[in-house]
Amino acid sequence: MTAVHDGDGTTRWGVLATGGIAATFTGDVQAMAGAEVVAVASRSEPSAKAFADRFGIPRAYGDWAGLVADPDVDIVYVATPHSAHRAAAGLALEAGKPVLCEKAFTLNAREAGELVALAGERGLFLMEAMWMYCSPVVRRMTELIADGAIGEVRTVQADFGLQGPFAPEHRLRDPALGGGALLDLGVYPVSFAQLILGEPDRVQADALLSPEGVDLNTGMLLGWDSGATALLSCSVTARTASTATVTGTAGRIELPSGFFHPDAFVLHREGRDPERHTVESPLTGMQHEAAEVSRCLRAGEKESPLVPLAGSLAVMRTLDAVRERVGVRYPVDN
């Protein structure tokens, strides 16, 4: 059941894993009203305890089973590497817990489909932590595009690249952990393009692969039968501008560096001065997605209209197609 603590309406989070994004998310949730982190789980008890001490979290579990069985946890936030999303989110859903699962949703579309089916069977809320889709600035942008502010969208450009090199033992280099630029970074440009244009009809790609066989520097060309295109890239070898532009027949919208969590965008309408658009909000960072999850749980919704499961599945199909084009295979692929 997607019951939310009915005492004071607070959403009580259980955080599964203790790495970088688990810490960022926990800090953001603890800084907002109406939410608290009541438990954390790790594969090891000392890590769980250290994380709980650092953030003042009441309960720490040295295995995932304790967290998902905790009656005080309203929702489990899965923050493991992608390779464990299927297992961790599946365990939580099997235990009757709603789940917010980090991006990339899973390693491949098959795993994503299994999670979506499981959530459906159990009648439980499930959402990919695609926080970009919950950004009020990004939502304002999509409203303007839908209202025809730039005419018919013809092309989307977006990139996300981090400065390398990453050591061979880093998770980004390990095929078993879903390593490579695509699932960590490329998921943002792909999700951005598909937010605007939907699932592409054609996918082309090229990539530089590491000795381990993961993609280090990847270019993608997506095509739609409408004639629209998207030119996207991701890299773990070079810090790209990490900007996005949506161009239509009557203008364009430019998002600044860090396009997936923007403070503002600039709308260029043909023949008019540029317009800068911002959205005032008391929430920051990942609080927008945490607030959307709370809203869904309170309303009894099984998925978020901002991050629909069909969209997450469609993104996973595109990522699968890109990997197929560039020759990246993970051990779980069949």
- Cα 281 to Cα 96: distance, rounded to the nearest angstrom: 33
Q: How far is the CB of 190 from ligand NAP (least distance, A)?
A: 13
Residue sitting closest to ligand NAP (CB) = 19
Nearer to ligand NAP, 131 or 166 (CB): 131
Site string for ligand NAP, 3-42 (x = CB under 6 A): --------------xxxxxx-------------------x
SS3 89: helix
Q: Which positions from 162 through 181 interact with ligand NAP, judged by CB under 6 A?
A: 171, 177
Tell which one of 129, 144, 149, 222 touches ligand NAP (CB under 6 A): 129
Q: What ranges in the chain are assigned the alpha helix state H? A: 20-30, 45-55, 64-69, 85-94, 109-122, 136-146, 181, 187-197, 287-299, 309-326
Nearer to ligand NAP, 228 or 296 (CB): 296
Q: Which of 312, 331, 48 is nearest to 177 (CA)?
A: 331
**Annotated active-site positions, please?**
103
- Take residue 256 and report the two structure tokens written for it: 């600044």
The reply on whether position 66 binds ligand NAP by CB under 6 A is no
Strands laid side by side in the 11-16 sheet: 59-61, 35-41, 11-16, 75-78, 99-101, 126-128
Per DSSP, what are the bridge partners of residue 153?
A: 248
Rg (C-alpha) for the chain, rounded Å, is 20
The reply on whether position 79 binds ligand NAP by CB under 6 A is yes
Tell which one of 12, 86, 97, 103 touches ligand NAP (CB under 6 A): 103
The reply on whether position 81 binds ligand NAP by CB under 6 A is yes
Q: How far is the CB of 323 from ligand NAP (least distance, A)?
A: 15
Q: Which residues bind ligand NAP (CB under 6 A)?
A: 17-22, 42-44, 47, 79-84, 102-103, 129, 131, 171, 177, 184
